[in-house]
Structure formats: structure tokens, C-alpha cells
Amino acid sequence: MLTIRKAEDRGHANHGWLDSHHTFSFASYHDPREMGWGPLRVINEDRVAPGMGFGTHPHRDMEIISYVIDGALEHHDTMGTGAVIRPGDVQRMSAGTGVAHSEYNHSRDHGVHFLQIWVEPAQRGIPPSYEQKHFADAEKRGRLRLVASPDGADGSVTIHQDARLYASVLAANDAPLVHALAPGRKAYVHVVKGRVEVNGAALATGDGAKVQGEATLAFKAANDAEFLVFDMLA
């Protein structure tokens, strides 16, 4: 069964410097029907204005993944990590026992567009840690590229949860992709951009789908599309 979450039905907050759409309940947006999906707790589609950003703020006991769509986001944290995240980069920060970080757009004329994803860890109180890897479009084109997993398989970043995150770039003339869901697993699909059919259901930019009770997922792009697939314990 697929339950579609349309982009326009998401929570929305515009703070001037930050324009954010919330797939699940977050901050002042609360919907008891949308509290997450399995261990997947947050998908925020954020746009940060030039010269603005998130000041230093704390997190704990959460796996935080940043997926940049456009622009460059500079990261600093209390572990001593400093990095710039660009399109194709996947950043993973395990907050664990506690970490504070900031994220800033230093460009004077170009915004940053990125996804902020939170996954609840399988174990609380782990030491905080950081990881960042680049996955070029060529690695994602016409396939589901594993970008986050519990064991760092295929060069993916490591998250502390039995969940796998795949990214794909698919064109309309590409062959359909098929992803098998093992028994006891469910999925969430988020369309980064473009239009794609999932088991015949049409999804567009910003749309998502909760998936449960399906043995396979078939993806066919209606135009050039980029999308994420979360494979998790049911």
C-alpha cells in the first residue's frame, strides 16, 4: 500500500531568511497523523537566503543527514569539524550524547536549497561523530545508489539504525528501476525534483509516499527526476 503525501500538504514556515517545508511534524508545525515513518522522523526541505544560516544550536540522540540540492552550506560543530556541503554531498552527523553545530550560507547572492533529514538511532547515548561523502550524479543515474546504511556498504555514510537511504537520478527514457523490500521492511519515497511514478502512482517535486506491505517498488520517470528511497524496519 502507498499513502501519498503531496508537497502542498506539508507544513510550511517562512522566517524570511529560511523557507522550510516539513514532511513530518516539526517545531511549530504539529500534525498527530504525521509524526514520522518508522525511525524516519524529519524531512525538511529548507531554503536559506544568501548571507544567512542557522546559529550554533544543540542536538542529541539523532542521526542527522544533510542532502544539498543547490548552493553551498558551511558546517561547524563542537567536535571540531568544519566542512562545506555542496550538491552531491551527503553529510551524516550522529548527535549521540550531545553536539552543537551551525550551518551557514556564506554566498552573497546565491541561496542554499537542501534537505535536512533526521533518523532516530537504534541506540541512545553513543559518542557523537561526523561523516561526509560525495556521490556524483553519474553514480546515481539510472540506478538506486546507496548513500547511507548501518554498515557503510558500497562506500555509503554510516548511520546508527537499520535503515538504508538510496538516491537516484532517472530520465524519462531510462528503464524502470525495481527495488525489492524484504519481509518486515517498509519504505518512504521523497521526490527531490521532477516527476516519477512509484508502482503506478504519480509523484512530483516535494511529494512523498509511505510504503507498507509491498514486496517491490517500481520507479519510472515522467521527466528528468531525482528522488530518495528510505528502506526501514516495519
Give me 122's grid cell: 537504534
Provide the pLDDT for residue 77: 87
What pLDDT, on the 0 to 100 scale, is given for residue 224?
92
Predicted pLDDT at 177? 96
Question: Which CATH fold would you assign to the domain 11-134?
Answer: Jelly Rolls (2.60.120)
The CATH architecture to which 137-233 belongs is Sandwich (2.60)
Predicted pLDDT at 217: 97
Nearest CA-CA partner of 204 in 218, 216, 189, 214: 189
What was the pLDDT predicted at 205?
98
pLDDT at residue number 234: 86
As a whole number of Å, the end-to-end CA separation of the chain is 13
- Per domain, the residue ranges of the chain are 11-134, 137-233
Give the residues of the chain that fall short of pLDDT 70. none
Cβ distance 167 to 155 under 8 Å?
no
Q: How far apart are CA 5 and CA 207, in angstroms?
A: 6
Joined together, the cell numbers standing for residue 61 give 540522540
